[in-house]
């Protein structure tokens, strides 16, 4: 469904993504794991097209020159030159790192903004669905986004992304700074979303353990390069992966 080949991103002369091939089939959950500075967020920005915006902004301000190379194919079409808004229209929706919810809008308004691209009927249906999978949101729908707890904000961010009717949802570190219980809730919700909306999901995370059970296919990034990939069982049984991303020390 989504396939990136030979993705390279340079921040000035620093190589952030080194010749990465990544793909995601329909109805699949793909995990991308890596430490800080491995290039996870850069990958997400590049896939969603936000990188074009960052590139332009830096160019205008005379900052770093960002070079993006490689090819991204989505449903057989090359979308590497499309703007983020055009990609969103085609169903590639990013749920950004650190949530980035609209702090001065209420929960309901946040979700409504997310549903800008959807038809009113669709939006209504999805709104109900969002409240169904995240019942906690319905109780606080009048509250300002800025006053929500971390977990509620993350639910809201995912809900907002869902409102845009994704075909492929990019979740960038959805578990950042959340309690284990909240992490489990979100992971369960992610799987439900995939099963019920029939969409593909790419999720990045540093600590693989909580996400791993729901992942169909995984990539391991290290310093901008994809060092390993495979289906869940393959990765799970690899001793290097186990020690690096599960915290399991093999003796």
Partner 1 sequence: MIKDQRRKERIDRGIKVRSDGIYAMMSWRELTYLVIPRLVLIIGMLILPLVLPGMYWQRVITITCIYALLAISFDFLAHFVGLVCLGGAFFVGTGGYLTAILNTSLGLPPLLTIPLATLLGASLCTLLLLPCLPLRGVFFAIVSLMYPLFAMRVIEALDILGGTDGIIGIDSFANRWVEQYMVIGITLLFLFGVRRLVNMDIGLVFRGVKDNDQAIRASGMNITIFKAIAVFIAAAMGCMSGACLVHIYMWSGISQFALDFSILPIAATVIGGGGTLVGPLIGCLILVPISELLRDFGTLRIVFYSLILVGFIVFRSEGVMVYGQRKYHQFERWTRI
Which residues here bind partner 1, judged by CB under 8 A? 5-6, 8, 10, 12-13, 19, 60-63, 65, 67, 69-71
Smallest separation (angstroms) from partner 1 to the CB of 97: 19
CA distances from 198 to 190, 201, 237 (A): 11, 10, 28
Closest listed residue to residue 210, CA positions, set 189, 240, 226, 231: 189
Both tokens of residue 64?
Answer: 């770093």
Q: Which is nearer to partner 1, 63 or 135 (CB)?
A: 63
Smallest separation (angstroms) from partner 1 to the CB of 218: 24
Residue pointed to by tokens 């209420």: 106
Smallest separation (angstroms) from partner 1 to the CB of 203: 27
Q: Which is nearer to partner 1, 47 or 201 (CB)?
A: 47
Angle between helices 150-163 and 120-133 (to 10 degrees): 150
Taking the C-alpha atoms of residue 102 and residue 130, their distance in angstroms, rounded to an integer, is 17
Angle between helices 150-163 and 180-197 (to 10 degrees): 10
Q: Which is nearer to partner 1, 23 or 125 (CB)?
A: 23
Smallest separation (angstroms) from partner 1 to the CB of 56: 11
Q: Which is nearer to partner 1, 10 or 207 (CB)?
A: 10
């Amino acid at each position: 469904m989504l396939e990136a080949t030979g993705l390279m991103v340079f921040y000035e002369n620093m190589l952030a993504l080194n010749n990465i091939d990544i793909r995601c089939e329909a109805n699949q959950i793909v995990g991308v794991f890596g430490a800080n500075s491995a290039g996870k967020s850069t990958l997400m920005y590049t896939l969603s097209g936000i990188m074009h915006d960052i590139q332009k902004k830096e160019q205008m301000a005379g900052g770093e020159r960002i070079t993006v190379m490689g090819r991204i194919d989505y449903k057989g079409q090359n979308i590497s030159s499309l703007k983020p808004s055009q990609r969103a229209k085609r169903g590639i929706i990013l749920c950004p790192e650190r949530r980035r919810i609209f702090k001065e809008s209420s929960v309901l308004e946040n979700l409504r903004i997310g549903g800008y691209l959807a038809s009113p009927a669709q939006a209504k249906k999805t709104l109900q669905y969002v409240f169904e999978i995240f019942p906690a949101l319905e109780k606080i729908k009048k509250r300002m986004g800025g006053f929500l707890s971390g977990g509620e904000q993350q639910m809201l961010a995912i809900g907002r992304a869902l409102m845009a009717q994704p075909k492929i949802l990019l979740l960038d570190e959805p578990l950042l700074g959340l309690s284990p219980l909240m992490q489990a809730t979100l992971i369960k919700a992610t799987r439900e979303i995939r099963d019920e909306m029939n969409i593909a999901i790419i999720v990045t995370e540093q600590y693989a353990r909580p996400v791993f059970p729901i992942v169909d296919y995984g990539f391991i990034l290290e310093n901008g390069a994809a060092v390993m990939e495979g289906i869940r069982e393959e990765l799970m049984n690899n001793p290097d992966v186990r020690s690096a991303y599960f915290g399991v020390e093999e003796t």
